[in-house]
Amino acid sequence: MWDDETRYAVIRGKDARYDGQFVTAVRTTGIYCRPSCPARTPARANVTFYPSAAAAQRAGFRSCRRCFPDDAPGSPRWKVGEDVASRAVRLIDDGVVEREGVAGLARRLGYTERHVSRVLVDELGASPQALAIAHRLHHARTLLETTALPVADVAYAAGFGSVRQFNDAARTAWALTPSEVRRRAGGTASAGPTTLELRLRHRAPAAAGRTLAFVGARAVEGAETWDGRTYARTMRLPHGGGTVALEAAEGHVRARLALADVRDLGAAVARCRRLLDLDADPAAVDEALAASSLLAPLVAAVPGLRVPGAVDPFEMVVRAIVGQQVSVAGARRTLGTMVERFGGVLSVPGEASGADPGVPSVPAGVGRVFPSPEALADVDPAIGLVPQARWRAISAAARAILDGSLDLGPGADRAQARAALLAIPGIGPWTAEYVALRALGDPDAFPAGDLVLQKAAGLDARALAASAEAWRPWRAYAAMHLWTAVTEGRIP
């Protein structure tokens, strides 16, 4: 569908569902916008379309000061894809280029730098470095507009090597200096806070409250809390610990972050977005699933339902293994004991360290991080808590993560990850599919052996797997609709 005439029809209709999927550059003004920009629609002859903000910036266009196209939700194309470009974009969003450079990005993908650059230029119109700069600018703007960090600290936190480099990139992309951006937002510089509040935008419709309720119902004491409205948890981030409190709001999810190191802002935001599936394309998912007589009433009842992800892939492996054939309540108790025995103590400064007045500090009730692979790699399986076979599976998965034979990160090859999971004794098809659904963000993952799904559909595992073929490539969303309908009593 994505020919230029279709794109022009989208911008004429100001359709916000397509924000983030492409940008519109106007040659007469030198500005690029999101599809739903409220400004007058430019003449077709003056418009060029680009697949990303980085591509528009590379072509010499500046960001619109009215619609802020860089603040749009991420493209679902890169979220769900399994090709090299999609995997690369997910890694760039997680801050890999800032931490490891383009060489590190290529190494994680298993290709040469030259090949990765060629693929990204062909697919997104920009090199890995240009995409990383656009990523840095997005988070720099967030810090300028929502915190009182000095500009020099913002540059460092966003991943720029110097203030001069930041200033040059800002002038090119925004036609404004960082200080001018801050003044327009009404902010002033002061000692840097460690807590900040952000809006995580998404496409409508979005049943964000139900997604939070799903993860909240599985909250593990010590590392997570859920009060029926706000879900809070700890995170292990590249440069230190962090916490986040998430709450559904109109048109976005409110995120209150506390970070030990503000350089982790980009990674923390990316992980929160994956946790709540905020870059999904609900229109495409709902349209496809509504063709099923079984799913149509469920989609109509809850449009825009998302598939919860994970902030830590290894954590999701442990959850899946512990949750084999036990209740949610039983799994929570066991996992809570694991966090108490093996989880690290959280270290995140709060309001006393200079946070803005009125900005929440570390959420109450979360003081420990989920156990790391290092902590569980050599646990004596005879210690109890779970059957010895499950302890051996957990430790084997931890060792596979540590030696690199199991990659569940944002740039992972999903087929290889499934194979690596299934090679671990104690991990079967249900566990591998559940991990693929949650940790890998695979939109087509489907644990057909799940007893709740079978009961909800009124089918045995074989018949359910056969019926689910018609739901591709959105079987994970079908599973969420069935699970949610059972939980809410809409399916007895």
- pLDDT at position 103 is 97
SS3 content of the chain, % helix, strand, coil (to 5): 50, 10, 40
Nearest to 198 by CA among 303, 128, 289, 271: 271
Nearest to 193 by CA among 256, 253, 248, 235: 256
Confidence of residue 456 (pLDDT cuts 50, 70, 90): very high
Q: Average pLDDT, stretch 439-455?
A: 96
- Residues above pLDDT 90, as percent of the chain: 77
Q: Average pLDDT, stretch 241-262?
A: 93
Mean of per-residue pLDDT scores for the chain: 91
Q: Is the pLDDT of residue 384 over 80?
A: yes
On the CB side of 191, CA atoms within 13 Å amount to 7
- Dist. CA 349–CA 299, nearest whole Å: 43
- pLDDT at position 347 is 76
Confidence of residue 189 (pLDDT cuts 50, 70, 90): low
Nearest to 95 by CA among 331, 256, 329, 259: 259
Q: Is the pLDDT of residue 360 over 70?
A: no
Range in 143-157, 280-294, 312-326, 343-357 with the lowest mean pLDDT: 343-357
Range in 29-33, 300-304, 323-327, 351-355 with the lowest mean pLDDT: 351-355
- Dist. CA 117–CA 98, nearest whole Å: 16
Q: Average pLDDT, stretch 365-380?
A: 95
Q: What are the structural domain ranges in the chain?
A: 4-71, 84-146+148-184, 195-276, 313-487
Which one is catalytic: 33, 37, 64, 67?
A: 33
- pLDDT at position 65 is 86
Does 37 qualify as catalytic in the annotation?
no
Residue 125 DSSP one-character state: S
Phi and psi angles of residue 225, each rounded to the nearest 5 degrees, phi first: -140, 155
SS3 149: coil
Task: Provide the terminal-to-terminal Cα distance of the chain, rounded to the nearest Å.
Answer: 40
CA distance readout (Å), 144 to 180, 185, 239, 243, 431: 10, 8, 21, 21, 43
- pLDDT at position 318 is 98
- pLDDT at position 202 is 92
Which residues lie below 8 Å from residue 24, measured CB to CB, with a gap of 6+? 7, 11, 32, 33, 34, 35, 37, 42, 47, 48, 49
Q: Is the pLDDT of residue 352 over 60?
A: no
Which CATH code of 3.30.310.20, 3.40.50.2300, 3.40.190.10, 1.20.59.10 fits the domain covering 195-276? 3.30.310.20
Q: Average pLDDT, stretch 309-338?
A: 96
**Tokens, residue 69:** 């196209």
- pLDDT at position 197 is 85
Intrachain domains 4-71 and 195-276 with the same fold:
no
- pLDDT at position 188 is 57
**Tokens, residue 305:** 């339902």
Q: Is the pLDDT of residue 351 over 70?
A: no
Confidence of residue 356 (pLDDT cuts 50, 70, 90): very low
- Dist. CA 229–CA 214, nearest whole Å: 12
Range in 72-81, 243-252, 262-271, 420-429 with the lowest mean pLDDT: 72-81
Does 33 qualify as catalytic in the annotation?
yes
Do 225 and 363 meet the contact criterion of CB atoms below 8 Å apart? yes
Nearest to 449 by CA among 417, 479, 472, 420: 479
CATH code, 84-146+148-184: 1.10.10.60
Do 83 and 73 meet the contact criterion of CB atoms below 8 Å apart? no
- Dist. CA 212–CA 214, nearest whole Å: 5
Q: Average pLDDT, stretch 362-373?
A: 89
Bridge-based pairing state of the strands 230-237 and 224-226: antiparallel
User: What are 99-131's pLDDT values in tens digits?
Assistant: 999 999 999 999 999 999 999 999 999 999 999
Give the H or E element holding residue 279: none
Confidence of residue 355 (pLDDT cuts 50, 70, 90): very low
Q: 187 versus 443: which is more confidently predicted?
A: 443
pTM above 0.95, yes or no: no
Q: Is the pLDDT of residue 193 over 50?
A: no
- pLDDT at position 362 is 65
Do 324 and 431 meet the contact criterion of CB atoms below 8 Å apart? yes
- Dist. CA 378–CA 399, nearest whole Å: 8
Range in 105-119, 131-145, 360-374, 376-390 with the lowest mean pLDDT: 360-374
Strand partners, 255: 198, 246
Phi and psi angles of residue 62, each rounded to the nearest 5 degrees, phi first: -110, 155
Q: Is the pLDDT of residue 285 over 90?
A: yes
Which one is catalytic: 19, 277, 444, 450?
A: 450
Which CATH code of 3.40.50.1010, 3.40.10.10, 3.40.50.300, 2.102.10.10 fits the domain covering 4-71? 3.40.10.10
- pLDDT at position 361 is 57
Residue 370 DSSP one-character state: P
CATH top class, domain 313-487? mainly alpha
Q: Average pLDDT, stretch 73-90?
A: 88
User: What are 149-164's pLDDT values in tens digits?
Assistant: 889 989 988 889 899 9
DSSP H helix total and E strand total for the chain: 23, 9
SS3 256: strand
- Dist. CA 414–CA 233, nearest whole Å: 26
Q: Is the pLDDT of residue 206 over 60?
A: yes
